[in-house]
């Protein structure tokens, strides 16, 4: 369950009706970093967040990871779960069991001596996925996800996906030169370079709403 989704997605949904070029008028000296907290409270357990800072428009990098933060998920029942894992890329994990749907929650973040606190939010049950389909297009492949909403309060959605790509070489390399024996031998399964895999998490913000349906 993603109880923070509604907070994060309220503004982006306003811009779906059209797209227009935007040339911001800003002062180069006005480059005070702004903290970005991307994530949600997962009611099923173990919530993940990514913290970063904004950078000037003329910077080469797009974001700056925020390190050394402490995150906590708090409930109105006085339960609190603190982040236990972090990486150099600004990713944090708050370990917790499945949370109760009968209380409200908020996120507390402390970094560089500053504290950030979200509003209390009410959890909504996520609709079960009823069907997944796909269609090949000239640009690649489109994936369709269908679900039936059993809760009229759940109107805002965000989808995330994990992708695993398999790469197969046209020709198989079955032999390898062993410098120790100075001979050519068959590759072991661990030395196979003809097939490899790459794993990625979705980078785009995939959102939707049924507010007007």
The answer, yes or no, to whether residue 209 has pLDDT greater than 60, is: yes
Distance (Å, whole) CA 45 – CA 94: 9
pLDDT for residue 16: 45
The answer, yes or no, to whether residue 179 has pLDDT greater than 50, is: yes
**pLDDT confidence tier of residue 115, bands split at 50, 70 and 90:** very high
Query: In the chain, where do the E strands start and end?
Result: 35-39, 47-53, 64-65, 70-75, 80-86, 91-94, 105-111, 114-117, 129-137, 140-147, 156-159, 162-168, 175-178, 183-186, 195-201, 206-209
pLDDT digits (tens, 9 = 90+) for 120-178: 999 887 778 889 999 999 988 888 888 887 666 677 788 888 889 899 999 988 999 99
Q: pTM for this structure?
A: 0.64
Going by C-alpha positions, the residue among 136, 85, 75 that lies closest to residue 107 is: 75
Residues in a beta bridge with 201: 162
Buried b (16+ CB within 10 A) or exposed e, 53-91: eeeeeeeeeebeebeebebebbbeeeeebebeebeeebb
Identify the weakest region by mean pLDDT among 13-22, 28-37, 77-86, 176-185: 13-22
pLDDT for residue 24: 67
Decide: helix, strand or coil at residue 9. Answer: helix
Identify the weakest region by mean pLDDT among 18-27, 81-90, 175-184: 18-27
Mean pLDDT of 24-37: 75
In the chain the first and final C-alpha atoms are separated, in Å, by: 22
Who has greater pLDDT, 192 or 74? 74
Mean pLDDT of 89-115: 92
Task: Output the CA–CA distances (angstroms, integers) from residue 81 to 56, 89, 106, in the order listed.
Answer: 34, 21, 11
Report yes or no: 52 and 69 within 8 Å, Cβ to Cβ.
no
pLDDT digits (tens, 9 = 90+) for 41-99: 999 889 999 999 988 777 777 778 898 899 999 999 999 999 866 777 888 999 999 99
pLDDT for residue 118: 93
Distance (Å, whole) CA 112 – CA 68: 8
């Amino acid at each position: 369950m993603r109880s923070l989704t509604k907070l994060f997605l309220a503004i982006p949904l306003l811009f779906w009706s059209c797209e227009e070029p935007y040339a911001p008028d800003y002062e180069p000296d006005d480059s005070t970093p702004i903290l970005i907290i991307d994530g949600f409270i997962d009611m099923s357990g173990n919530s993940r967040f990514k913290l970063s800072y904004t950078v000037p428009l003329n910077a080469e990098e797009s974001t700056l990871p925020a390190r050394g933060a402490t995150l906590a998920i708090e409930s109105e029942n006085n339960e609190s779960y603190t982040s236990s894992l972090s990486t150099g890329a600004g990713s944090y994990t708050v370990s917790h069991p499945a949370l109760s749907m009968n209380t409200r929650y908020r996120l507390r973040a402390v970094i560089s001596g500053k504290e950030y606190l979200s509003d209390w939010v009410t959890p909504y049950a996520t609709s079960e996925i009823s069907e997944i389909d796909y269609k090949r297009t000239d640009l690649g492949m489109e994936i369709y996800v269908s679900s039936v909403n059993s809760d009229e309060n759940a109107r805002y959605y965000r989808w995330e996906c994990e992708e695993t790509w398999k790469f197969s070489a046209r020709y198989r390399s079955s032999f390898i030169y062993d410098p120790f024996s100075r001979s050519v031998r068959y590759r072991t399964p661990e030395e196979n370079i003809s097939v490899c895999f790459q794993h990625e998490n979705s980078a785009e913000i995939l959102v939707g709403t049924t507010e007007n349906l």
